């Protein structure tokens, strides 16, 4: 067969043409370009923020480390306290969302009840609801309560945002588990509750862990809703970083942002490994 005939052959399934490959590369480049720009700027050796930098150094990383270990007296809240708040809120969000999502996923898959379709739609509502409107609505609700809530309202808001991700993953894991496994466990003497805890939940492990990681990532990086609910004493890392850019852009923010990207990268890598080993994604 001649070379010209080979060129006329159609592309086989699973193969991509040159145009598709170039288009995919351009889209990928546009997606990562802001992150690459931020990383390059974090190594700038200049005192201004010109791009590309005229020189490179680690001065902003040294300044960021100094800010972390010896915060300025003018800072209302240190980065260490903000990081502690972010980690606590993310961990509590992860645990609480999972405790709600596992029984919810079981009920949505195994049970038939009136309003099931509506429940599924409402569960996904935070994914499409405007974050600004949601943050304002939650602020009005919490301010109308007689209780003084600062830390807890951040946790509640983040659970609302993360719950759809955990429910979707747990539901997908439940769909792959046939009801015969529970019936077999009950025939062997297990109660319905023990069959769920000892058989169903372990089989949902990959979906549960994937949902937990997504809940942590969503909570740790959440800014819009948190902006309406934070207080001067309870502030997450994204809010703290934003506060460093209000009056003038602090170049150390780029160094802190690289740290956040590294944390997210590790979590996403762990999530991808989990998905590759039989987990589910959303």
Express each pLDDT in 99-113 by its tens digit: 999 998 888 888 777
| CA gap 226, 68 in Å, rounded | 22
Q: Name the nearest CA neighbour of 218 among 271, 150, 276.
A: 271
Residue 17 has a pLDDT of 65
- pLDDT band for 161, please (50, 70, 90 cuts): very high
In contact, 19 and 5? CB cutoff 8 Å: no
Please compute the mean of the pLDDT values over residues 207-220 and round it to a whole number.
89
Residue 8 has a pLDDT of 47
Residue 200 has a pLDDT of 84
Express each pLDDT in 50-69 by its tens digit: 677 777 778 778 877 777 76
Q: Name the nearest CA neighbour of 97 among 211, 191, 262.
A: 211
| CA gap 91, 68 in Å, rounded | 22
Cis peptide before 52 (omega within 30 of 0): yes
| CA gap 53, 45 in Å, rounded | 7
pLDDT averaged over the chain?
A: 80
- pLDDT band for 71, please (50, 70, 90 cuts): low
Q: Name the nearest CA neighbour of 120 among 134, 98, 105, 131.
A: 105
Among 54-58, 87-91, 127-131, 185-189, the range with the most confident prediction by mean pLDDT is: 87-91
- pLDDT band for 70, please (50, 70, 90 cuts): low
Residue 99 has a pLDDT of 93
pLDDT exceeds 70 at position 168: yes
Express each pLDDT in 228-273 by its tens digit: 988 888 888 888 888 877 766 677 777 888 888 888 888 888 777 7
pLDDT above 70 coverage of the chain, percent: 84
| CA gap 188, 199 in Å, rounded | 12
- Burial status of residue 166 (CB atoms within 10 A of its CB: 0-12, 13-18, 19 or more): buried
pLDDT exceeds 90 at position 181: no
β-bridge partners, 56: 44
- Ordered structural domains, the chain, with CATH: 16-57 (no CATH), 76-276 (1.10.3720.10)
Query: Which of the 8 DSSP states describes residue 16?
Result: -
Residue 87 has a pLDDT of 92
11-15, 144-148, 180-184: least confidently modelled range: 11-15
Residue 90 has a pLDDT of 93
One DSSP character per residue, 111-165 reads ---TTHHHHHHHHTHHHHS-HHHHHHHHHHHHHHSSS--SHHHHHHHHHHHHHHH
Residue 276 has a pLDDT of 60
């Amino acid at each position: 067969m001649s070379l010209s005939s080979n060129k006329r052959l159609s592309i086989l399934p699973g193969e991509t043409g040159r145009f598709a490959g170039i288009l995919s590369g351009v889209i990928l480049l546009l997606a990562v370009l802001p992150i690459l720009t931020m990383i390059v700027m974090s190594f700038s050796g200049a005192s201004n923020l010109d791009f590309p930098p005229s020189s490179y150094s680690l001065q902003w990383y040294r300044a960021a480390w100094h800010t972390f270990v010896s915060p300025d007296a003018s800072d209302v809240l240190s980065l260490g306290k903000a990081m502690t708040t972010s980690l606590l809120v993310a961990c509590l969000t992860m645990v609480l969302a999972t405790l709600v999502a596992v029984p919810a996923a079981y009920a949505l898959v195994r049970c038939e009840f009136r309003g099931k379709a509506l429940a599924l739609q409402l569960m996904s509502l935070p994914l499409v609801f405007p974050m600004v409107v949601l943050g304002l609505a939650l602020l009005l609700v919490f301010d109308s309560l007689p209780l003084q809530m600062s830390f807890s309202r951040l946790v509640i808001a983040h659970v609302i945002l993360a719950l759809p991700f955990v429910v979707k993953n747990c539901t997908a894991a439940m769909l792959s588990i046939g009801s015969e496994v529970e019936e077999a466990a009950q025939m062997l003497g297990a109660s319905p509750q023990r069959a769920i805890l000892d058989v169903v939940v372990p089989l949902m492990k990959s979906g549960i862990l994937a949902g937990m990681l997504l809940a942590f990532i969503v909570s740790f990086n959440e800014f819009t809703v948190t902006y309406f609910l934070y207080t001067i004493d309870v502030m997450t890392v994204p809010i703290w970083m934003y506060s460093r850019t209000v009056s003038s852009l602090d170049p150390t923010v780029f160094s802190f942002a690289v740290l956040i990207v590294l944390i997210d990268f590790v979590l996403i890598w762990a999530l991808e490994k989990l998905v590759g080993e039989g987990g589910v994604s959303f």
